[in-house]
Amino acid sequence: MAQLKFPLQKLLLFWVATTLLSGCGIQSIPTAQNEVEAAWSEVLNQYKRRADLIPNLVQVVKQYASHEKQTLQAVVEARSKATSVQFNADQLTQQNLEKFSQAQAGLSTALSRLMVVVEKYPDLKANENFRDLQVQLEGTENRVTIARQRYIEAVKRFNNLVTVPPSSWTNSIFLHYEKKPQFTVENVGELENAPKVDFK
């Protein structure tokens, strides 16, 4: 009977320890980390989708407004800069996030200027390829906004887990995760200046 009692005590102790650790974030924190990584990947995917539309957009605009070289060149350069500033989730720091945000905001500004130029060319606005690209770009801007919101929520949840007790104690003792960077008010404002592509 003594032999049976000892394994039962071990089993009970193991169950209590597992339950306590589960309640203190031992599983929640890595899960939240995975959610942040997935949300950041989606942000990158949506910005890449936007960047991939730009060469076709520039080509269509060139057909109707070839003498707008300065504006077109600014878009091409801004796209190049935006696509060169990419970070994996494990490389995200506040400084890297700000660099990324500034590059994307630069592209948004260049696209906005291009859309102002387009207003002067009714034939371009009526072009079917241009209108298709316009719809795709508008949809992509909406997806970018949603992806950013999901990232913000995922980071908020993760940062709460690693900074608020009792899960922060588990993090300090076992996991050692750092807080994730968040879009600041300044770079959210920059990113909110998405190009307006509605020519109805």
Interatomic CA distance for residues 38 and 150, integer angstroms = 10
Q: Domain for residue 61, yes or no?
A: yes
pLDDT tens digits for range 73-84? 999 999 999 999
Q: Domain for residue 59, yes or no?
A: yes
For 36-41, the CB contacts below 8 A with 24+ separation are 36/89, 36/151, 36/154, 36/155, 36/158, 36/180, 37/89, 37/90, 38/154, 39/147, 39/150, 39/151, 39/153, 39/154, 39/155, 40/88, 40/89, 40/92, 40/151, 41/89
The one-letter code for the residue type at 38 is A
Instruction: Write down the pLDDT at residue 191.
Output: 52
| 109 close to 78: Cβ distance less than 8 angstroms | yes
Q: Which residue has the higher pLDDT, 9 or 121?
A: 121
Instruction: Write down the pLDDT at residue 9.
Output: 76
Question: How sure is the predictor about 122, in pLDDT bands with cuts at 50, 70 and 90?
Answer: very high
Q: Domain for residue 107, yes or no?
A: yes
pLDDT tens digits for range 16-70? 666 665 566 788 999 999 999 999 999 999 999 999 999 999 999 999 988 899 9
pLDDT tops 50 at residue 169: yes
Q: Domain for residue 179, yes or no?
A: no
Instruction: Write down the pLDDT at residue 84.
Output: 96
Q: Domain for residue 77, yes or no?
A: yes
pLDDT tops 90 at residue 188: no
Given its phi and psi angles, is residue 66 left (phi above 0), alpha (psi -120 to 50 degrees) or beta? alpha
End-to-end Cα distance, the chain: 84
Six-digit token pair at 21? 């650790």
Q: Domain for residue 12, yes or no?
A: no
Instruction: Write down the pLDDT at residue 100.
Output: 96
- Mean of the pLDDT values across residues 158-173? 91
Question: How sure is the predictor about 187, in pLDDT bands with cuts at 50, 70 and 90?
Answer: low
Q: Domain for residue 71, yes or no?
A: yes
| Residues in the chain, overall count | 200
> What is the tally of structural domains in the chain?
1
> Chain-wide mean pLDDT for the chain?
87
**By mean pLDDT, which of 23-27, 73-77, 97-101, 191-195 is the weakest?**
191-195
- Is the torsion defined by CA of 105, 110, 116, 119 positive or negative? negative
For 88-97, the CB contacts below 8 A with 24+ separation are 88/40, 89/36, 89/37, 89/40, 89/41, 90/37, 92/40, 92/180, 92/181, 93/181, 94/181, 94/184, 96/181, 97/181, 97/182, 97/183, 97/187
**Cβ-proximal residues to 175 (8 Å cutoff; 6+ apart), any chain:** 26, 29, 30, 162
Q: Domain for residue 133, yes or no?
A: yes
**By mean pLDDT, which of 18-22, 109-113, 117-121 is the weakest?**
18-22
Six-digit token pair at 54? 């730009």
* Structural domain boundaries enclosing 129: 40-151+187-192
